[in-house]
Amino acid sequence: MRQYIASRGDTVSRIAALHGLTPEHVIQGNPWVGRQSYLYPGQVLFLPSSPRKRYAVQEGDDLERITSLFNVSLDDLEKLNPAVTSGRCCTPGKVLVIPPSIPERIVSLRGEYGPVDVENDIRSLIAQYPFIQAHPIGSSVLGKPIHVLKIGNGTRHLHVNAALHANEWLTSPCLMSFIEEYAAAYAKGLAWNGHRPEEWYNNWTLWAVPMANPDGVELVQEGVLPGHPYYADLMKWNGGRRSFRHWKANIRGVDLGDQFPAHWEEERERRGVMLPSPRDYSGPEALSEPEAAALAALAEEAPGEAAVSLHSQGGEIYWNYRGYEPPESRELATRLAAASSYRAVELSGSDAGYKDWFIQTFRKPGFTVELGIGKNPLPLADFEDMALETGLILGTILSNVK
């Protein structure tokens, strides 16, 4: 057993990923973790030794096959298996200790995906793919930057945002993963799931805001401690509960999904929530929150041909708004549903969302996509499927030449 002292930002999943463990390993050594909503800085955890992966050499194996099979470097294999390069390692039946795999992609989950992960991955993506541009379009209530990534030089603009709702944060790495796969395929001149990224790049400019509500995401993932500027308010708005995993709003208790000036007053009356809350409070007025205002300003600065707001969950695509949508919206929604195996849903009785405002303002196709199935926050194990579905939906729009 090793001791580990928790720091700010630590979660069970993040600690497990850092040390090559599973969350269950961490909880097994620290049973109290399973009964506590969050870790606190200074708490001491006992971590078991990282279990090593092992492999029994098979007939016909050589070093190239073994390193390729497990995606490891020869140097790392040598460190755990001295003299491996001598050739004696390839005797059938010999058991080798396998080092951790080389990360295949920049965007991956190492526990919960939060604002710090977005910042780090943006830096890495820009370094790897210089044709990606990024800059802040504003700041959250607590001053965290709200980043947009821009890729492509086409005359048609597509706006995409994720994690408008705090406990739907898994949409963020899904969007970031698509950007990486798009960039990698474009850089190598390769097709992507039947699409041609070179045509995307030449025809469209993609504006992607991967985490529209960074304060809320951090709250859901890490909780809040005394000393936080909104500690007393948050505990009151949350009914005294220490767990914020159900929280959708921003740090001021405003639901950003109800913040846009599209029949905002009617949505406020329908919701009937007049004070800060974990969800459904539309704020004192439309666009009162800096996060929502930043998204609206970006869309107005570069008017788009289409927009997508990524949410979770339900496996559905909402495409209409009070008849303001253009005629092509229905047919395009049907194509998006076919690509992703989701359902295209004609929605009524809902206002003040980003999609609603975009359709009403620009009279262009706008979509709310409910990624995945289950209960928010969705499990990390759903990430790869949701990321692919995100890409198939966005790729279908970018391949639309009408």
165 CB-side CA count, 13 A:
30
Active-site annotation holder among 168, 291, 370, 389 = 370
Strands 133-139 and 95-98: unpaired
Q: In degrees rounded to 5, what are phi and psi of residue 214?
A: -65, -35
CA distance 340 to 328: 19
Q: Which of 67, 63, 52, 55 is nearest to 95 (CA)?
A: 55
Q: How many Å apart are CA 247 and CA 244, to the nearest integer?
A: 5
Question: Can you tell me the distance from the alpha carbon of 238 to that of 259, in angstroms, rounded to the nearest whole number?
Answer: 20
Q: H or E element: which one contains 201?
A: helix 197-203
Report the run of H or E that residue 209 belongs to, with start and end. Answer: strand 204-209
Question: How large is the C-alpha radius of gyration of the chain?
Answer: 23
Cβ atoms of 325 and 332 closer than 8 Å: no
Q: Judge whether 370 counts as a catalytic residue.
A: yes
Q: How many residues does the chain have?
A: 402
Strand partners of residue 381:
none
SS3 (DSSP) at 366: strand
Which of these, 215, 9, 41, lies nearest to 112 by C-alpha position?
Answer: 9
Is 99:80 a contact under the CB 8 Å cutoff? Answer: yes
Residues 51-87 as b or e (16 or more Cβ within 10 Å = b)? eeeeeebeeebeeeebbeebebeeebbbeebeebeee
Nearest of 285, 267, 336, 268 to residue 307 by alpha carbon: 336
Helices (H), 56-114: 63-70, 74-80
- Cα separation, 282 vs 277, in Å, equals 9
Residue 235, number of CB atoms within 10 A of its CB: 16
Residues designated catalytic: 370
